[in-house]
Amino acid sequence: MRIRPTLRLCLATAATAGLLVGCADKDDSRDKHGEKKPAAQPTTSRSSQDTSSGNAPAWEPDDALQRAERALDAYDDDGTNPKLVDTDTSYIADRLAKTYEAPGDRPYRLDITCNTDGIEELTLTLTRGDEEQPYGIGCGDPEADQFNIPPGKPFKISAEPVKDGAGLFLWRLNTIAPEDVEGCEDDIKSC
């Protein structure tokens, strides 16, 4: 029997297809019975993860720092003209302990916030000499907490570490005009 040219082309195409399927099997796309395996599901990025079902993305320091900066920036248009003295950050797993000298004649305003993984409030302690005042700081609040401190004597801000805690404090210490002090004039003495 003679093979016609059309039949030769069909047989060659079938043989090529068989070789291609054989090659495809080498990449583990078929199971042991020769059935095609389902395609692997694509990995999801952190930004596309579903947070509505309670599967919130893991706490990330960079994201937390940005949220904390927004909380501090919430006071940018408050009508005061603060002069920046210092800005700093501390992880909640580390002990926060910072002392400021407080020279000059302008009152100081401490704007501070925290952003954590699952902790709603942390305790900040303001100390000057023998005077000490603890305050609860809301973590993740849209606005930072503010504390007024008169000039003249050194003061310290501190917080005990949260062992194995994920989170950070971010603060700015500013001086402000005396007429811009709102509320208590000395949050270390407490009003």
Q: What is the pLDDT of residues 40-91, one digit of tens each?
A: 333 333 333 333 345 555 678 788 899 999 999 987 778 788 999 999 999 9
pLDDT of residue 38: 40
Q: Is the pLDDT of residue 96 over 80?
A: yes
Tokens of 80: 């005061």
Separation CA 75–CA 118 (nearest Å): 25
Average pLDDT of the chain is 78
pLDDT of residue 184: 94
SS3 12: helix
**Amino acid letter, 146:** Q
Separation CA 188–CA 191 (nearest Å): 9
Q: Which CATH number fits domain 59-180: 2.40.230, 2.60.120, 2.40.50, 2.60.40?
A: 2.60.120
Estimate to the nearest angstrom the gap between the alpha carbon of 136 and the chain centroid. 20
Place of tokens 């009152």: 107
Domain boundaries, the chain: 1-37, 59-180
Separation CA 169–CA 161 (nearest Å): 11
Q: Which residues have a Cβ under 8 Å from the Cβ of 168 and sit 6 or more positions away? A: 61, 64, 65, 68, 89, 90, 91, 92, 114, 115, 116
Nearest to 115 by CA among 142, 140, 87: 140
pLDDT of residue 11: 43
Decide which of 83 and 7 is more confident. 83
Alpha helices in 27-94 (DSSP H): 61-73
Q: Which residues have a Cβ under 8 Å from the Cβ of 177 and sit 6 or more positions away? A: 80, 81, 106, 107
CB 107 within 8 A of CB 184: no
**Amino acid letter, 51:** T
Separation CA 152–CA 131 (nearest Å): 14
